[in-house]
C-alpha cells in the first residue's frame, strides 16, 4: 500500500465514530468486499468500504485486520475511489443499495418479466427464479403471457438433464404462467424427485468422506484440522492449493484454503500470490505468509471462512487455474492439478452438508 493510501485510511478510521458491527453484519460486508475484489467491481467495493469506514475505530484485532485488507483492495481495483467511500460513510443516512424494479399488478409484473426476458443480456436462470418467488403471479391468457412462456420454453429445452435445479426452477416458472399444463407439472415432480435422490446420495458421500478425513488434534485446546486423504501429507513434496476442515475445539467449524510453495533451490520469500482462473486474474487475499525448512524449504499462507469457500468454488470448477507466487525478486507459477481440484470439490460438497 502506498503512503498516500495508508495516510488516507488512517485518517478515515481515526475520525469516524460509530457502533461496532455485529458478526452477521461484519461477515456480510467482508464477503461483499471479497467478491468486489475478485470481480474488480469498483462500485461494489466502495459500498463495502463505506460500510466498514462507518463502523469507526474497531478494537478487535482480527476484525481490524480484515477491514484494513478490504480497504487496501481499493489500491488494485480499477476506478475504486476511497474518497467516495469515505463521503458515503460520512452521510447521516448511508445510501441505500439499488433496488430491483418494483413489482405491481399482475399485468405490470408480466410486462416487467417479458422485458427482462427479451433483453440482450437476459439472465434466464435468475428470471425463472424471480417468477417462482412471485407467488401472486398468475397471468391471464394473452399474447404477452404466451410470448413469455415461449421464451422460457426455448431457454429450458436445451438445458442438460444433469442441471436438475435449473430445470426444476424453469418448469416451476412455466407452471406459474400456465398452471394447467400437465407436462410442466410432471417435469416438476420428476426433477424434484431426482434432486431429492441426488441430495441424499451427496449427503451419504459427504458423511463417508468425513469419516475418512485425516485429522490432527492439538492436545492443548482440542482444536483440529482435517485433510482429504488425497491431499499432500507433507508440505515439502510439491506446490499445491487445497482445503482443510478446521475445528476450533469448541464445536465451531470452518474451511481453510491453504496454499503451499516448496523448493530445493532456495527461498522465494513470497510476498503475495495471484490466481489466474480461466483467464481471469485476481490476488489471493492471504494476510500473512509463513516459512519453514528441512532439506527443502516451504512457504505457505491461508484464507478462512466465506472468502475461502468463494475462491475454492471458482478454482474447483475451473478448466485451468494457475497460481503465481510473487517473491521479493522472482516469481514461481504452478498449474492446479485435476486431483487438487477434485479434492476441493469433494471438500466443498462435504461442507455443504456439515456446514449448514
Give the burial string for 173-206 (b: 16+ CB within 10 Å, else e): bbbbbbeeeeebeebbeebeebeeeeeeeeeeeb
The domain defined by 213-354 folds into Immunoglobulin-like (2.60.40)
- Which segments of the chain belong to CATH 2.60.40? 213-354
**Residue 295, all three cell numbers:** 532439506
pLDDT value at residue 84:
83
pLDDT value at residue 295:
84
**Residue 56, all three cell numbers:** 469507526
pLDDT value at residue 94:
46
Within 10 Å of residue 45's Cβ, how many Cβ atoms? 28
pLDDT value at residue 15:
45
8 Å CB contact between 127 and 117? yes
pLDDT value at residue 150:
97
- The ranges of the chain with pLDDT < 50 are 1-18, 92-103
Amino acid at each position: 500500500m502506498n503512503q498516500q493510501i495508508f495516510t488516507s485510511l488512517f485518517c478515515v478510521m481515526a475520525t469516524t465514530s460509530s457502533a461496532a458491527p455485529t458478526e452477521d453484519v461484519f461477515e456480510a460486508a467482508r464477503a461483499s468486499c471479497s467478491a468486489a475484489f475478485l470481480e474488480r467491481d469498483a462500485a461494489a467495493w466502495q459500498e463495502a468500504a463505506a460500510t466498514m469506514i462507518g463502523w469507526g475505530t474497531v478494537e478487535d484485532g482480527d476484525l481490524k485486520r480484515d477491514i484494513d485488507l478490504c480497504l487496501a483492495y481499493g489500491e488494485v481495483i480499477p476506478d475504486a475511489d476511497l474518497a467516495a467511500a469515505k463521503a458515503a460513510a460520512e452521510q447521516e443516512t448511508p445510501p441505500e443499495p439499488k433496488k430491483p424494479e418494483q413489482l405491481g399488478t399482475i399485468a405490470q409484473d408480466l410486462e416487467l418479466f417479458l422485458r427482462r426476458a427479451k433483453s440482450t443480456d437476459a439472465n434466464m436462470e435468475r428470471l425463472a427464479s424471480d417468477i417462482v418467488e412471485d407467488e401472486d403471479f398468475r397471468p391471464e391468457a394473452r399474447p404477452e403471457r404466451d410470448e413469455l412462456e415461449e421464451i422460457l420454453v426455448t431457454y429450458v429445452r436445451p438445458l442438460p438433464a444433469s442441471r436438475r435445479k435449473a430445470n426444476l426452477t424453469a418448469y416451476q416458472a412455466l407452471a406459474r404462467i400456465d398452471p394447467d399444463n400437465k407436462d410442466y407439472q410432471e417435469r416438476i415432480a420428476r426433477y424434484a424427485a431426482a434432486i431429492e435422490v441426488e441430495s441424499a446420495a451427496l449427503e451419504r458421500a459427504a458423511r463417508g468422506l468425513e469419516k475418512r478425513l485425516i485429522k490432527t488434534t492439538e492436545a492443548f485446546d482440542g482444536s483440529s484440522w482435517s485433510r482429504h486423504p488425497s491431499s499432500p501429507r507433507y508440505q515439502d513434496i510439491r506446490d499445491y492449493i487445497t482445503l482443510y476442515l478446521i475445528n476450533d475445539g469448541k464445536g465451531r467449524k470452518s474451511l481453510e484454503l491453504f496454499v503451499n510453495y516448496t523448493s530445493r533451490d532456495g527461498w522465494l520469500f513470497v510476498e503475495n500470490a495471484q490466481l489466474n482462473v480461466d483467464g481471469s486474474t485476481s490476488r489471493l487475499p492471504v494476510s500473512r505468509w509463513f516459512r519453514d525448512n528441512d532439506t527443502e524449504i516451504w512457504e505457505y499462507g491461508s484464507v478462512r471462512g466465506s472468502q475461502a469457500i468463494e475462491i475454492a468454488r471458482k478454482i474447483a470448477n475451473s478448466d485451468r487455474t494457475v497460481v503465481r507466487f510473487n517473491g521479493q525478486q522472482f516469481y514461481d507459477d504452478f498449474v492446479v492439478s485435476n486431483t487438487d481440484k477434485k479434492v476441493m470439490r469433494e471438500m466443498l460438497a462435504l461442507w455443504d452438508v456439515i456446514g449448514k
